[in-house]
Amino acid sequence: MVEQLGNYRIVRRLGTGGMAEAYLARHSGLEGVDRLVVLKRVHPQYANDDEFVTMFLDEARLMAALSHPNIAQVFDLGVQGDSYFLVMEHVRGPTLETILAANQRLGRAGLPIEVALPLLLQIAEGLLYVHEARDEFGRPLHVVHRDLNPTNVMVAYNGAVKLIDFGIAKAAIRVYETRQGVVKGTYGYIAPEQLDGKRTIDARADLFSLGVLMYEVCTAELPFGPGTAPNLLERILNGQYRRPSRVNPDFPAALEPLIERCLAPDPDARFSSMREFITHLSEYMASRRILPTMVALGEFVRGVVPDPEGMEPIVVRRVAPGKAAAPRATEREDVTQTVNTVASASRAEPVPDGDDEERTVSNSAYRALSANAEAAPSAGGVGAGSASEMPPPKRSLFVPLAIGFLLGLVVFGVAMAALSSHGNMAP
């Protein structure tokens, strides 16, 4: 396995796809600032294939232009030898496909509605941003994902939902054009207009895929059956599927019109935009007091797909004394020193001088360290509480006593001088 790609040290291989392979990697910055990232590299056998390379660079160009909380961010594009690689955000959590499979193994017919709807809302908000995205000059990018399915949705353990893999997305800034008659997408999720290859594809194709996803998330079944099902294309083109409430009796009947409009074979019969879908979904959630927060979703994900390495570890890299690359501002030195001192005190073993140390600290431990650091005294006063919270300094009694004594002497001297002057006056 490759050990280094550019400035990124490989931690482990994550997986491989049709045209690329993915690695978890670490980028080490100055002053112990590290970042875990995902590297997506073109397979060596395709490094000289102009078509594959063009598609890969199209994805890099598109994702670099997108910035939204529900889209996995692209940080950089690199090349090593003949192979290009993308530097992407590391999402700590499973794919939606993994979550659905784990939930089904527990014998459940879909995700709980209070979990499913906030998840779907985040997906829709990410797609809305994509559909309305513009370039730096304000020109519409006309982006359509075209391959929305559970493998391309990741859910972090904190409940954040991220869309990934825009490899076949349609966009105005693409160089590569799909050949006529070639179907792009995943059978069972793609819209009817993507199947015939003759009609123009727009944002409403993603609405169809979102309807399929909503059906699957809430019932644990696909509306038209899996991609290998007989007569699949016929059922998609004719809009033939069982009502979700008949598959899962717990599915709210009031939500069926949303799925029905999304899965309409005719794009004109669907919601006019992702924004309209979000409006209807949000209104239903508000009427049932389902909060659009990430908390319940994150807790659910950790329950069905436990994090093997613990909840949200924070990598803390301490720089040993004498190894700082550059002087810091006084405030930064005070805070760093306080946190490091508390961290060292909380461990049994000391940090050897001259060695860098890298540790993983859980959120609860980090919060404890932060609380202790804020309570600890600091030379510069940063992170040690406001001045109003500090006790007043003790005053010495010597100074006021000495001043009083001297004043007394002065008064006594003046009085004596006055008496002397009075005694010398002529009768």
Residue 397 belongs to some domain of the structure: no
Nearest in space to 201 (alpha carbons), one of 231, 177, 165, 226? 177
Do 155 and 263 have their domain in common?
yes
Residue 292 belongs to some domain of the structure: yes
The neighbouring-strand residues paired with 13 are 23
Q: Which residues are catalytic?
A: 147
Q: pTM of the full predicted structure?
A: 0.70
Do 143 and 183 have their domain in common?
yes
Show which of 90, 125, 153 is a domain's final residue. Answer: 90
The single residue listed with the structure tokens 């609405």 is: 207
Residue 284 belongs to some domain of the structure: yes
Do 225 and 167 have their domain in common?
yes
Do 112 and 237 have their domain in common?
yes
Residue 329 belongs to some domain of the structure: no
Do 52 and 151 have their domain in common?
no
**Alpha helix (H) ranges present in 291-397?**
295-304, 330-345, 363-375
CATH number at residue 175: 1.10.510.10
What pLDDT was estimated at residue 87? 94
Do 38 and 153 have their domain in common?
no
C-alpha span between 330 and 337 (Å, rounded): 10
- 10-residue stretch averages of pLDDT, the chain, 427 residues long: 83 85 88 88 86 85 90 91 89 96 94 97 97 90 92 96 81 49 74 84 96 98 83 90 95 96 97 98 97 94 87 43 40 32 34 37 37 38 36 46 52 48 44
Do 165 and 85 have their domain in common?
no
Count of residues in the chain? 427
Do 101 and 78 have their domain in common?
no
DSSP secondary structure string for all residues of 270-305: S-SSHHHHHHHHHHHHHHTT----SHHHHHHHHHHS
Do 155 and 252 have their domain in common?
yes
Do 84 and 138 have their domain in common?
no
The total number of structural domains that make up the chain: 3
What pLDDT was estimated at residue 304? 96
Pairing of strands 357-361, 314-318: antiparallel
Nearest in space to 300 (alpha carbons), one of 100, 149, 162, 105? 100
Do 217 and 301 have their domain in common?
yes
The neighbouring-strand residues paired with 316 are 359
Residue 5 belongs to some domain of the structure: yes
Residue 215 belongs to some domain of the structure: yes
Range of the domain at 61: 1-90
The single residue listed with the structure tokens 């893999």 is: 165
Residue 110 belongs to some domain of the structure: yes
Sign of the CA dihedral running 168, 169, 170, 176: negative
Residue 417 belongs to some domain of the structure: no
User: From residue 201, how far is each of 169, 174, 316 by CA, in Å?
Assistant: 11, 15, 47
Do 202 and 190 have their domain in common?
yes
Show which of 90, 107, 134 is a domain's final residue. Answer: 90
